[in-house]
Amino acid sequence: MDSDIEDFNSVASSDGFVEDGGSSFGGDDSDVQIDDDFGDDAAFETQEKDLKAKKKHFEVDFSVYSPQDIQDQQDKQVDEVAGLLEQPKESTAILLRYFRWNKERLIEQYMDNQEEVLSKAGLGQDMTTSPPRIEIKDDFMCDICCEDGPGLETFAMKCEHRFCTDCYRQYLAQKIKEEGEAARIKCPGDGCNSIVDSKSLDLMVTPDLTDRYHELLMRTYVDDKESLKWCPAPNCVYAVECGVKKRDLNRIVPTVTCDAKHGFCFGCTLADHQPCPCSLVKKWLKKCEDDSETANWISANTKECPKCGSTIEKNGGCNHMTCRKCRNEFCWMCMGLWSEHGTSWYNCNRYEEKSGTEARDSQAKSRQSLERYLHYYNRYANHEQSAKLDKDIFHKTEKKMTLLQSSSNMSWIEVQFLESASKALQQCRQTLKWTYAFAYYLARNNQTEIFEDNQKDLEMAVENLSEMFEKQPDQLAGLKVQMMDKTAYCNQRHIILLDDTAKNLKEENWQFNTTLS
């Protein structure tokens, strides 16, 4: 019940974070790291507890369940409650589903008024009688198909609404296949609210539907529980359990990863959007959708060289552009001279608030607010785009590396550094992207400046790595050590940024220029 903020830190660290988070975060922080594959296993934990690396502020505890685990969970709860209520398992399962798996509420109301609960859940009185079975009837007319031949196979539950098995089956098949119902299918009888129990279903549902039916039962189980969510990735079978509640979402961004390495936010089931809290993400996405002026901007994938005016298409992830024609080196973001960015004067991530004098003019103000929005949107979209380009480059390079490998004496293991670099770039850009949405809603104060410094450091590291990444394959081998260093540095900056932001979010230290709702 009480999964308040404090609890997020209390249990063993779950080392999955974003895609393959474990591998890229591991090893680069100074704390002692213990292989915590054993997770919550108490036997191993007692001794190693003190040695275990402290969990980061941006990490949350969660468990991943396979469909089998979820089935077991349900079975266990059914067993438990069945013993308490002294009801058969089928009936208990129906009761639990009816109460949306709220055990406490079921038991309480059952104890209060057993008969009412049973009839509401469609169980009527006495269900300990004979199990459901198919009966052959003469002198019977099915009220659905009007078939009345002798020797008709029929079926009815305890409510005695009897129909021929063909009709009963077709009715169930339609409910399951077309309406996606499973847990709360009612008896086909006119006005009857009895729910078709699992024994009857097992008997009546044709084998080709059994899987679908069980899958649907599983769906409702997970959907009914606040602490369980399906991985939103297409066709992914895993469910994730996390104690973070809706009301916690303004103080924590619960990024989780399923066993198929799909990272997502447990709060809103969108892709990982750390460090930005769900409510701001929602606002931001809505804003981006609404602001039609930016549509033009988005479509602009090309820019002109600020010196000679040649049209340039960005085809790599790095912001350092060199014009093919005039050799002008400039920054893709601000179009300023690259030399002015240098290494220490990289100042492209920060929006300088203009002095308030202009603000009196409302027109200027709105122009400024649009400009401010575009500043952040610009950078947000750029990281999104760059992440894609980085990935493309990686795939291209990977192919070339395979070729290179056969011609040089580098082994495949030795070129793995490229993959780590690519992963780091993807993760960092994902975070950087959302830092701009986050920054857009931040009020301007000292803390915001610290945040922007962290953002700048990470961004610079990422752009450096991205630039190396674009080199020709034959040059890459020589850059191996440098790239590994840069990768580690990026990951380190990434953790620092996330951890600091998450810590302040948890402690409610951020001041926003909007309300978190």
Partner 1 sequence: MAANKRIMKELGDINSQPPAGCTINLPNESDINNWEVTMQGPPESVYADGHFKIHVSLPKDYPFKPPGISFKTKIYHPNVSNDDRGAMCLGMLRPDEWKPPNKIKDVLALVRTVLAAPQPDDAVETGIAEQFKNDKAAFENNARDWVERYAKGA
- Residues forming contacts to partner 1 in the complex (CB under 8 A) are 143-147, 163, 166-167, 170-171, 174, 179, 181, 186, 188-192
- The closest of 193, 191, 171 to 124, measured between CA atoms, is 193
Q: Which is nearer to partner 1, 45 or 224 (CB)?
A: 224
Q: Which is nearer to partner 1, 168 or 451 (CB)?
A: 168
| 318 carries an active-site annotation | yes
List 231, 278, 318, 331, catalytic entry: 318
Q: Which is nearer to partner 1, 29 or 181 (CB)?
A: 181
- The CB-of-196 to partner 1 minimum distance in angstroms stands at 13
Side chain identity at 451, as an amino acid letter? F
Decide if 410 contacts 480 (C-beta within 8 A). Answer: no
Give rounded-to-5 percent helix, strand, coil for the chain. 50, 10, 40
- The CB-of-207 to partner 1 minimum distance in angstroms stands at 20
Q: Is the dihedral of CA 460, 463, 467, 468 positive or negative?
A: positive
- The CB-of-181 to partner 1 minimum distance in angstroms stands at 8
Q: Which is nearer to partner 1, 176 or 425 (CB)?
A: 176
Which two structure tokens, joined as six digits, stand for 193? 């609210």
Q: Which is nearer to partner 1, 186 or 456 (CB)?
A: 186
Q: Is the dihedral of CA 54, 60, 61, 65 positive or negative?
A: negative
Residues in CB range of 72: below 8 A, 6 or more apart: none
Q: Which residues of 51-70 are buried (b: 16+ CB within 10 A; e: fewer)?
A: eeeebbbbbbbbbbbeeeeb
- The closest of 489, 430, 500 to 458, measured between CA atoms, is 489
- The CB-of-93 to partner 1 minimum distance in angstroms stands at 21
- The CB-of-150 to partner 1 minimum distance in angstroms stands at 16
d(CA 421, CA 199): 54
- The CB-of-216 to partner 1 minimum distance in angstroms stands at 15
Q: Is 136 helix (H, G, I), strand (E, B) or coil?
A: strand
Q: Which is nearer to partner 1, 119 or 193 (CB)?
A: 193
d(CA 514, CA 245): 22
d(CA 181, CA 213): 8
Which residues are known to be catalytic? 318
